[in-house]
């Protein structure tokens, strides 16, 4: 080992550390989803199981929260994108002085803590509701409505930033040209500006949807008595975690990967070089079409779902259970024998029983979601709806098309 | 189908700044009319007044006798070709050309047919499915023209459309533009700061400076008989000699410029009260009008010293010093070199080549 090879190793060492830092948690999360241990962990490895996915599908609270999150996500996109676009267009057309102050105003919601936005949204609409003497069933008190409104305040600003970077490259003489060619202002907008903004609209949509889906600190206030994916997860973290959360992570990672793969395939498929390569090779052209890739991935997903449904780990788990019982039995016997000398055995006992605890904990956790429903501080209007478990299909819930189209910003 | 355009006392003001003052002119139908002037002279503003992007502060723009006040750019019978062409980058060539038809609700088949016709006109047959980015500069230029012609406007407005092209292409496009104009018979209004473009293509030229139309006339008139000092110094090159009017009999003006004998000038401002004996005046003499004196008596003669030479291939530009005043003389490079740098050189010019004008602002070099 001379000095030179050592210094050459530093960048690769750094890279290893960097990627470990980046992907380590994800890998561990994925592994824990298949460990039968009641607490999400890698070791001790008990049994390979797919039960957590089933548990997830049966977790009405989580599914309901996820459903709400998706509705809210779509609502936020629908409201925030037009607002962001309008703001960006306006900023691109006003004079520099007005632009500076308008920009500050538009951007302010991003700088305001989410908690403040959440609280103030809640209070504001409550005041308005009270003013109109609206009943509690009205939308002034609806968690979905309030959350959409609350999230839009800052997500519209995010999307505006995306639009601004694109619109700055727009040549406004194109709009003038369209007008001169006889287009009405609406036609000029729809036929010239909107197509130019399309890539930005795509990325802003994905960004807004994801920002809405993962938002917690605003949502936790505005959701009132309802729940979203994040609020359910956070209450799970507080009141007891089981690997069904890892199962959620596996699904999200899978969807992201699928989306990224299809997107990348599309990019390469559309590249000028590749178009030339496949020009006279129809078979290769079909094989590399992003649709083909998507179909292959869909088959793989279906296979995975089938495997998850059919895999049965009960034999292994029963064996583990027996082992643990035997261990516990043994420990109890040991304790009984060593009662006369309490000092050391007592210590061993606590140390040795530790592996058994999670097993007990697992039992608690299994019932945790149901327990939570009763223990939440806010009034629960109705119990978790039973129908929410039936439509569950891993692919549909996350609606791949919502995630798989992060379009390029290829200007 | 071609309509006359008249600007009646058009003023355009942006706050304190006057972009156009009292533009008063009529452009005949079917004419190739150019606005020539340095950047910032208000020519583009005037064009925007005609196309409808700018309302005049005062005055009236009439197209075909109809007052255009309040008529938007999309309702005027004009088509504008932008300086940067403003082709839609996301549309194919044919879709660009057919855009004016598309927004008028013309069906796809008719659109395509018209686009193909126009592609033929601009010699790009069969290239309708190309992307704009796949075209060369000259081709883009022609596509922009085709797009403007798609709905058969009465007037085509061109805002320095050739300025982004390289020299060879620019010269080629000049001929082509003129040919297209002859072919379609439309009124072309052409904006440029390049006098070569204006002189070669136009039927008539309006020379503008600081928002004012200085002179309107055909290229020959503008060049040979400039009406103001600005026009004389902006269009083509000119040597300026400050002097005093000695006499003025209506046809011949005698000017004392301090260079030997007073110059006899036959080409001069004729309006009433101009160039009264005793007045200061500016005398212009084009570099190509100067000759090495051959002894003719009727020509104005003076002496100067050689300073340096600028060689341009076909032309040789000799820089001279005449009693402290810098002059330029251009001569065709015919292989001879009659100038001996060491001795003073005697030059002369014909009286009709000298231009005497009342003093006024000149074009900055």
Task: Give the residue among A257, A302, A296 at the shortest CA–CA distance from A394.
Answer: A302
- When scoring B74, B145, B158 by the number of chain A Cβ atoms within 10 A, the one with the most, hence best to mutate, is B74
Is the omega angle on the peptide bond into residue B21 within 30 degrees of 0, that is, cis?
no
Contact B151 A181 (CB under 8 A): yes
What is the predicted ipTM?
A: 0.76
**CATH code reported for the domain at B237-357:** 2.40.50.100
* CATH 3.40.50.300-classified regions of chain B: 5-225
CA distance B13 to chain A (A): 18
- How far is residue A338's CA from residue B245's CA, in Å, rounded to a whole number? 134
Residue window 74-113, chain B: list those with CB within 8 Å of chain A.
74-75, 78-80, 82-84, 86, 88-90, 99-100, 102-104
Instruction: Pick B88's closest partner by Cβ from A174, A184, A187.
Output: A174
- Do residues B39 and B193 make contact, with C-beta atoms less than 8 angstroms apart? yes
Give the model's pLDDT for residue A235.
86
Touching A: B residues 39-78, CB under 8 Å: 51-53, 72-75, 78
Domain ranges within chain A, ordered by starting residue: 62-227
| Residue A104 per-residue DSSP state | H
Nearest-Cα distance to chain A for B266, in Å, is: 48
List, in order, residues 6 or more apart from A227 with CB less than 8 Å away: A61, A64, A65, A68, A143, A235
| Each residue's pLDDT tens digit, B1-18 | 568 899 999 999 988 888
Strand, helix or coil for residue A300: helix
> CB distance B79–A181 less than 8 Å?
yes
Interface A:B, Cβ pairs < 8 A: 61
Residues 219-238 of B with CB under 8 A from A: none
- Tell me which residue in A174, A183, A192 faces B74 most closely, judged by beta carbons: A183
Kindly report, as residue ranges, where domains of CATH 2.40.50.100 are found in chain B.
237-357
Report the 10 Å Cβ neighbour count for B97.
30
Token reading at B138: 């000259």
Which of A171, A180, A187 is the closest to B51 by Cβ? Answer: A180
Q: Which of A174, A175, A180 to mutate to test the interface with B (most CBs of B within 10 A)?
A: A180
CA pair distance B358, B2, nearest whole angstrom: 39
Contacts of B95 in chain A (CB under 8 A): none
Best mutation site among B80, B88, B151 for testing chain A: the one with the most A CBs within 10 Å?
A: B88
A-chain residues within 8 Å CB-CB of B158? none
Q: Which of B54, B99, B148, B158 to mutate to test the interface with A (most CBs of A within 10 A)?
A: B99
Query: Considering only the top CATH level, what class is A62-227?
Result: mainly alpha
Please give, rounded to a whole number of angstroms, the shortest distance from the CA of A272 to a CA of chain B. Answer: 13
CATH code reported for the domain at B5-225? 3.40.50.300
Residues 122-181 of A with CB under 8 A from B: 171, 173-174, 176-181
Handedness of CA B182, B187, B192, B196 (dihedral sign): positive
Per-residue pLDDT of chain A (411 residues; tens, 9 = 90+): 566 778 888 999 999 999 999 999 899 988 888 888 878 888 778 888 888 888 888 888 888 998 999 999 999 999 999 999 999 999 988 888 999 999 999 999 999 999 999 999 999 998 988 888 888 888 888 889 999 999 999 999 999 999 999 999 998 889 988 988 888 889 999 999 999 999 999 999 999 999 999 899 999 998 888 888 889 888 887 877 788 888 888 988 999 899 999 989 998 888 888 888 888 888 888 888 888 999 999 999 999 988 888 888 788 888 888 888 999 999 998 888 877 655 454 444 444 444 444 444 444 444 444 444 444 444 444 444 444 343 444 444 444 444 444 444 443
A171, A181, A184: residue with CB nearest B99: A181
Residues 149-168 of B with CB under 8 A from A: 150-151
- Residue in chain B closest to A198 (alpha carbons) equals B90
Three-class DSSP labels, chain B: CCCCEEEEEEEEEECCEEEEEEEEEEECCCCEEEEECCCCCCHHHHHHHHHCCCCCCEEEEEECCEECCCCCHHHCCEEEECCCCCCCCCCEHHHHHCHHHHCCCCCHHHHHHHHHHHHHHCCCCCCCCCEHHHCCHHHHHHHHHHHHHCCCCCEEEEECCCCCCCHHHHHHHHHHHHHHHHHHCCEEEEEECCHHHHHHHCCEEEEEECCEEEEEECHHHHHHCCCCHHHHHHCCCCEEEEEEEEEECCCCEEEECCCCCCEEECEECCCCCCCCCCCEEEEEECHHHCEECCCCCCCEEEEEEEEEEEECCCEEEEEEEECCEEEEEEEECCCCCCCCCCCCEEEEECHHHEEEECCCCCCCC
Q: Which residues of A touch B79 (CB under 8 A)?
A: 180-181
pLDDT at B25 over 70: yes
B-contacting residues in A 201-260 (Cβ below 8 Å): none
The sign of the CA dihedral A206, A212, A215, A218 is: positive
């Amino acid at each position: 080992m001379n000095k030179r090879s050592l210094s050459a190793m530093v960048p690769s060492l750094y890279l290893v550390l960097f990627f470990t830092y980046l992907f380590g948690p994800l890998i561990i999360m994925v592994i824990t989803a298949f460990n039968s241990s009641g607490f999400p962990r890698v070791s001790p490895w008990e049994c390979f199981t797919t039960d957590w996915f089933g548990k997830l599908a049966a977790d009405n609270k989580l599914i309901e929260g996820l459903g709400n999150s998706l509705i809210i996500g779509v609502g936020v996109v629908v409201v925030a994108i037009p607002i962001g676009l309008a703001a960006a267009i306006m900023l691109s057309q006003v004079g520099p002085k007005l632009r500076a102050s308008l920009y500050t105003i538009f951007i302010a919601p991003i700088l305001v803590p989410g908690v403040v936005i959440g609280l103030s949204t809640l209070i504001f609409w409550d005041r308005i509701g009270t003013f109109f003497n609206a009943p509690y069933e009205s939308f002034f008190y609806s968690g979905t409505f309030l959350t959409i409104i609350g999230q839009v305040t800052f997500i519209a600003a995010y999307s505006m930033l995306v639009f601004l970077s694109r619109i700055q490259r727009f040549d406004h003489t194109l709009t003038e040209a369209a007008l001169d060619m006889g287009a009405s202002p609406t036609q000029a907008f729809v036929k010239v500006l909107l197509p130019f903004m399309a890539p930005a609209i795509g990325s802003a949509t994905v960004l807004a949807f994801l920002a809405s889906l993962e938002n917690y600190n605003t949502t936790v206030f505005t959701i009132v008595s309802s729940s979203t994916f994040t609020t359910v997860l956070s209450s799970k973290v507080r009141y007891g975690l089981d690997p069904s959360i890892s199962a959620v992570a596996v699904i999200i990672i899978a969807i992201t990967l699928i989306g990224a793969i299809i997107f990348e395939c599309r990019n390469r498929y559309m590249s000028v070089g590749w178009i030339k390569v496949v020009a006279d090779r129809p078979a290769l052209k079909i094989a590399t079409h992003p649709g083909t890739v998507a179909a292959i991935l869909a088959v793989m997903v279906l296979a995975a779902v089938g495997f998850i449904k059919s895999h049965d780990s009960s034999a292994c788990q029963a064996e583990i259970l027996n082992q643990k019982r035997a261990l516990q039995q043994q420990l109890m016997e040991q304790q009984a024998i060593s009662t006369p000398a309490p000092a050391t055995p007592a210590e061993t006992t606590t140390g040795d029983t530790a592996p058994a605890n999670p097993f007990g904990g697992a039992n608690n956790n299994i019932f945790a979601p149901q327990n939570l429903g009763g223990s939440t501080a806010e009034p629960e209007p109705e119990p978790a709806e039973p129908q929410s478990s039936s439509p569950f299909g891993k692919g549909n819930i996350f609606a791949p098309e919502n995630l798989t189209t992060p379009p390029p910003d290829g200007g | 189908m071609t309509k006359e355009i008249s600007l009646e006392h058009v003023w355009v003001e942006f706050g304190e700044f006057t972009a156009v003052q009292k533009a008063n002119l009529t452009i005949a139908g079917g004419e190739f009319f150019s606005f020539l002037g340095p950047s910032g002279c208000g020519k583009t503003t005037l064009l925007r007044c005609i196309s409808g992007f700018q309302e005049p502060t005062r005055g009236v723009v009439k197209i075909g006798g109809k007052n255009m006040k309040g008529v938007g750019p999309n309702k005027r019978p004009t088509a504008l070709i932008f300086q940067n062409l403003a082709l839609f980058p996301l549309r194919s060539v044919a879709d660009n050309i057919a855009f004016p038809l598309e927004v008028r609700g013309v069906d796809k088949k008719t659109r395509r047919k018209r686009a193909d016709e126009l592609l033929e006109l601009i010699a790009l047959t069969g290239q309708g499915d190309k992307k704009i980015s796949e075209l060369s500069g000259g081709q883009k230029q022609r596509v922009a023209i085709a797009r403007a012609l798609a709905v058969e406007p009465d007037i085509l407005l061109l805002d320095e459309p050739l300025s982004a092209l390289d020299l060879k292409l620019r010269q080629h496009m000049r001929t082509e533009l003129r040919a297209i104009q002859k072919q379609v018979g439309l009124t072309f209004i052409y904006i440029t700061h390049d006098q070569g473009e204006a002189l070669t293509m136009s039927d008539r030229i309006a020379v503008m400076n600081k928002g004012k139309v200085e002179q309107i006339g055909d290229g020959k008139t503008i060049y040979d008989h400039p009406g103001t000092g600005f026009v004389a110094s902006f269009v083509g090159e000119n040597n300026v000699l400050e002097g005093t009017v000695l006499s003025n009999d209506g046809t011949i003006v005698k000017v004392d410029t301090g260079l030997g004998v007073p110059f006899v000038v036959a080409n001069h401002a004729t309006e009433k009260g101009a160039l009264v004996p005793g007045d200061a005046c500016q005398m212009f003499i084009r570099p190509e009008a100067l000759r090495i004196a051959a002894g003719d008596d009727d020509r104005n003669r003076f002496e100067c010293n050689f300073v340096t030479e600028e060689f341009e291939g076909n032309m040789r530009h000799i820089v001279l010093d005449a009693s402290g005043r810098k002059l330029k003389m251009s001569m065709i490079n015919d292989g001879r070199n009659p100038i001996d740098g060491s001795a003073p050189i005697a030059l002369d010019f014909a009286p009709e080549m000298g231009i005497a004008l009342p003093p006024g602002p000149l074009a900055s070099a």
